[in-house]
Chain A
């Protein structure tokens, strides 16, 4: 199955990464670079939101491409009300790009993240366990 979800990043309000989860077979760190550099675009979009006053806008939309050797990827962003940023890197699929679907997916990531950190047994900042990763993967498969 050709999976669309390649990478998910959750970035804290202070722009430090909380989750950097690669779903590709190729675990190179290029995605880390790409995600980090996309924060510039996110900052710009946040400023645009502030200027327009659309404070209830969470979906930041398309953040740009990530042109890697193995194929084209597209970055999408989401910001929670608390300033936590969610970045999904999806395999570029020009024919089937469905913004509403991606928006829904991003929202689900936020809910998953919120539920995980609300769990009293969850160890802070540790998202390396299979539970969180598998749930993310399942969400990605629904795309």
Chain B
């Protein structure tokens, strides 16, 4: 509040008018000063003095006097242009509540302060108020005037006074003082002559009103009161004299005048109020005629008493008279007069420390009355006073509202709206907690209006300070608008590098894509024209002060900008060793092994492990990779046009440079790339370095519209270029796209050495050994330019897609190098094979294998060979149709070597050892117990094409009925007998029973043969005719070892023809005495 009072005191100081002669002004001008400026430093009276008002004696501790040259002060229209904001891109701005304190610690709007000062000054000496009425007039003449006395007389004529005196608004009877200047430095007059002039003056003009002042008498440097380049010739004694003059002026003229005037005015007022004329006037006054002050009128006197009381600090007296004046003015519909009185009334209450509501009410009344009077300038002045008052009260919320209203209400004054919106914004910032978002909004409103009145720098400042609030808050449309305007403002202010920054940011905004193609085109075109303008300058600025980084320029003078159109979605660099010769479909689907696993089979290759891990995992390699001189590197970029318009870029190039910044890298460039809307396109660029050293691939650049280069920077990519050496190229001469499962085909790989040097230890390591029967082929050495064709048998295995990889390793000039080749092919189904086992009744060491073979599709199948690949012998029992075969498989002990019992089963030339190699490779995939390994060679005729192949049936487990009875029983008896029962009524049938123990341990059991009329168990129902056994039908077996075979002979006895089941044997094991076991099948014999 003290600050507010101080401001009120300084604003409403007693005024003194200076009227000077031309000569006086000329000698003062020698010190670069005007007459008012000359006196200004001495107008602060620091000693106390008393003033007697009508009601009290006021003790004034100090006072400041305002000295004015003229009462008509025109507003400088260029005040805002002359006080532009200093844009500091990295200055202190408000991003959020935390920055506000620091931001407000300085004068954020010095242009407003300057404008406000000039604006208030221009409204001083308004005809509707008397607060600015000069309390004294100082006439200044010089001894260099032809006749100083005559000059004074001319100056002091009433006609020479300003208009307000002629209109009898200001009091022309105020004290008048005559100040004669003597220019000591240049005047030829001696002191005696000057004294003579002065005495003449005193005689004519009254001695007490005349003063003599030396000027420009400096002999040595004195304390400068006026600032640089001003008042240099004013000496200390001159200053002292001037101070004395002002003191005297106040004490001898102004104070007595106030005291005198107050008394006089009070008397006049008393008389006027008593007078009939005034009483009638107050009732029937000419209320429709525009009011103006009349000297000596009641309103004039009341207002003058109030103003004089206010100036000498008697605020009680002042407030009463302002109140009274205000009411009188209202009655007279003198709205500006009433408003001014109400305004002063508010200030009096402030000075008296009264109620804030009363202050607010008085200011609101003043504002409303100014509004009614249509006085927009005075309305703004009222708003400025309100600003100070509410700031003093720290009521910023109401202040913001009032400033905003004032800006809106004073639209005729163009600068008012943006200035007051800016102040509104600041008021919102001062509210606790701060309304920083409203601050941003009102800054934008102010900026928008500044733009309309061509104050672009101010607009830029407003938008830029607001942009910090919206940044990274996801208000993308708002940010786009701000950046667009900021770009335009910077362009207008010829800050092209900054404009480019904003347009670049705008063109990379994702929200740009939401706009239509016309808008997108507009933005891009504005960017292009800005860059064109920027680069057309003789020395374009190569520093972006917003991002604080330097902008690189191409040698052709075009800048390299981080222009993100088209978007680079992906990029990859393929070194020569990264390239893989691929046949078949170019994908890595299906069964695949890692390159690393192939490398592990090559001796002395551990240093390449990390590189191969990169191939397998697509991760980036940490170390620096290397390649040889002359080899071609491919850089692929996946470009995307996100816009709704066609993008055309030219001269697309990879930015490649040696780390020592020497040497040129030859590279291919794409002359033109046209990208349709929303389209992806991959571009591959190649280069081959010709010099060893460290090479950096910085990124990719392209020319946009011939104006600038768009640049996309890669992450740090550094490579080591090493001297050239021979490498091996490899290709498939023939490699199938697909094979049938089991089909066999020969493939060829051609390896060629380049012509630089011979290579050694050439070796091909490949995946899928179960298809090739091996995993590595060693080829030895290869001379310069020599080529070698490698034949390999391939058999289709595992249905589906397979990526077969070949790693070709070799030593070139003692360095282990490699080439990678891969093929993707499909294995399709060929034949379906099902197997089933049964035990053989012919031999306990024999099983029956049922094979069900059929083509997997519509084709004609024929089996060419069935072979055992283990020490089991095969014997064909029968064939059913074309595809079902019954084989007897004899195991183990009897035949250590493979025995083929029929020609058909003998091995044909199934690629000699290839089938064994493949079998061994396949066996690695199976973990089950070793059993029968079977090879089935087949031929399919598909559309008259013969396709041959073979299938493996590996680890077929032989039949074991362990769960039911731990024995194998084979009954050897004739299956059919013809017998004449009339000749011999009883038929004896010899039955040989072979028993093989399947138990792992030795076992003991009883065997009993039952006649068929005896029921063995509940299920056993035998109908006549019956069969009997002769001789011993019960046998005991003690400790029969595992696999042991025992043969027992029985004789069966039948008496009539029929079909009999010979399986009438029952086993009782010692471990399960209570349980009788019977083999659950029949062995029938037909007796005719």
Contacts and interface: CB of A to CB of B under 8 A. Distances in A.
19 contacts: A15-B473, A16-B474, A17-B474, A17-B475, A20-B477, A29-B477, A32-B475, A32-B477, A33-B444, A36-B437, A36-B470, A36-B475, A37-B435, A37-B440, A39-B437, A40-B438, A41-B435, A44-B433, A47-B433
Contacts of A17: 474-475
Interface in B616-654: none
A72 interface: no
B478 A33 contact: yes
B478 A29 contact: yes
Nearest to B442: A37
Interface in A10-31: 15-17, 20, 29
B436 A40 contact: yes
Given A16-B473, A29-B481, A36 B433 contact: no
Contacts of A41: 435
Interface in B470-495: 470, 473-475, 477-478, 481
B441 interface: yes
Contacts of A47: 433
A32 B469 CA distance: 13
Interface in B310-356: none
Given A20-B477, A29-B481, 20 more contacts: A15-B473, A16-B474, A17-B474, A17-B475, A29-B477, A33-B441, A33-B478, A36-B437, A37-B435, A37-B437, A37-B438, A37-B441, A39-B437, A40-B428, A40-B435, A40-B437, A40-B438, A41-B435, A43-B433, A44-B433
Contacts of A4: none
A20, A29, A32, A40, most chain B CB atoms within 10 A: A40
Chain A contact residues: helix, strand, loop or mixed = helix
Contacts of A40: 428, 435-438
Contacts of B474: 16-17
Nearest to B469: A36
A17 B437 CA distance: 14
Nearest to B478: A32
A12 to B, nearest CB: 9
Complex A-B, nearest 10 residue pairs according to Cβ-Cβ distance, in ascending order: A40-B435, A37-B441, A16-B474, A37-B438, A37-B437, A29-B477, A40-B437, A33-B441, A32-B478, A40-B438
B867 to A, nearest CB: 59
Contacts, number: 39
B433, B473, B474, most chain A CB atoms within 10 A: B474
B470 to A, nearest CB: 7
Contacts of A37: 435, 437-438, 440-441
Nearest to A37: B441
Contacts of B441: 33-34, 36-37
A36 B481 contact: no
A32 B441 CA distance: 10
A34 B445 CA distance: 11
Contacts of B478: 29, 32-33, 36
A19 to B, nearest CB: 11
Contacts of A29: 477-478, 481
Given A43-B433, A44-B433, A36 B477 contact: no
B403 to A, nearest CB: 15
Interface string B1029-1064: 000000000000000000000000000000000000
B440 to A, nearest CB: 7
Interface string B393-437: 000000000000000000000000000000000001000010111
Contacts of A15: 473
Interface in B857-875: none
A29 B473 CA distance: 15
Nearest to B472: A16
A40 B440 CA distance: 11
A23 to B, nearest CB: 16
A37 B428 CA distance: 11
Contacts of A33: 441, 444, 478
Contacts of A16: 473-474
A81 B433 CA distance: 23
A29 B444 CA distance: 12
A112 to B, nearest CB: 21
A139 to B, nearest CB: 24
A37 B436 CA distance: 8
Contacts of A38: 437
B478 to A, nearest CB: 5
A35 to B, nearest CB: 9
